[in-house]
Amino acid sequence: MFPAHYNGRRFFNPGGSGPRGFLSVLKWMLTRRREPSPEFIPVEPSAPPHSVDSPSLLVTLVNHSTVLLQQPGCHILTDPIWSERCSPFSFIGPRRHRLPGVEFDRLPTIHTVLLSHNHYDHLDLSTLRRLSARGGAIFVVPLGLAPFLESHGITPVRQLDWGESLAVSGATIHAVPAFHFSGRGAFDRDKTLWCGYMIESAFGKVYFAADTGFGPHFGWIRDRFGAPRAALLPIGAYEPGWFMSPVHMNPEEALAAHRILGAQTSIAIHHGTFQLADESVDAPGRRLRACGAPESFLILDNGGHALLT
């Protein structure tokens, strides 16, 4: 069992780690020093195959935390976003600096969509409606999010608490802890859960960490499931550290998580597309390389592939 994370009204991170309060938000807004990012970086989209015949795992980084995982009879898409902005509005909010690395109409059949929490850069209603309209996919969400998706016509939905599991096409999905928070407006903070996922299939175990700060949960996950063959680890949105560290890892912490998990291969996510914090859009990848990441920690461009065997 994972530690308690609900107090009867709201979800929380065991041990008290959580997002900063209003005064800290105000301090950040008044003192922030945003690094400049390139206005727009060209992307050459790739075309994933319609299916994979080998027992290998084909990983395609679409953008941000959107990753396509392909195995025979098992296509999984994580936190999909194809919108121009990750925002409740189409005219304001963080906009993309890179196009998705896969055009939406070039996606193969998707069997399972994993959603880690309800922030706009991870739960994009426009994209989810398009995926639901295609048919054939089941949407897996953390506890409390099913009614929200269903109210927008996005079905079928299954929700999981930390430690719960679900059998899907070609895999078993396990919801695991993340240290983060939830909320899409002023009055719903932490009313729904956030999570990562361990995907267990014929290939082995693949860990999608989603959006998380550094914490003891990596050890809990390793103890429960063993070392994953692959891990998708976030490396961006970490500056300023005093404000972001409870809920976002920096590259050094992602490298530490890679080692704690004992992952055979890790792939960097949550960087390179949207500038959500003060570091530039390309700073996380540069910093991960500079801190001595091994060859087993991959930094893919949007549309980049990794064939894991």
Taking only the tens place, the pLDDT of each residue in 260-309 is 999 999 999 999 999 999 999 999 999 999 999 999 999 999 999 999 99
Would residue 30 count as lying in a domain? Answer: no
| pLDDT for 53 | 85
151 Cβ neighbours under 8 A, 6+ residues apart: none
The 10s digit of each residue's pLDDT in 103-122 is: 999 999 999 999 999 999 99
| pLDDT for 191 | 97
Residue 135: give its domain's CATH number. Answer: 3.60.15.10
Would residue 126 count as lying in a domain? Answer: yes
Please write down the long-range contacts of 153-158, taking CB distance under 8 Å and 24 or more positions apart. Answer: 153/129, 154/125, 154/128, 154/129
Would residue 37 count as lying in a domain? Answer: no
Would residue 165 count as lying in a domain? Answer: yes
Please tell me the total count of domains within the chain: 1
Would residue 238 count as lying in a domain? Answer: yes
The 10s digit of each residue's pLDDT in 46-72 is: 999 999 988 899 999 999 999 999 999
User: Which H or E run contains 284?
Assistant: helix 283-290
| pLDDT for 30 | 84
Reported as a pLDDT band with limits 50, 70 and 90, residue 176 is very high
Please write down the long-range contacts of 89-93, taking CB distance under 8 Å and 24 or more positions apart. Answer: 93/120
Task: Give, as one character, the DSSP assignment of residue 202.
Answer: T
Would residue 183 count as lying in a domain? Answer: yes
**CA–CA separation, 160 vs 122, rounded Å?**
17
Would residue 158 count as lying in a domain? Answer: yes
Q: What is the mean pLDDT of residues 187-193?
A: 96
Would residue 29 count as lying in a domain? Answer: no
Nearest residue to 193 via CA among 222, 161, 165, 147: 161
| pLDDT for 23 | 84
Mean pLDDT of the chain: 95
What is the span of the domain harbouring residue 255? 45-308
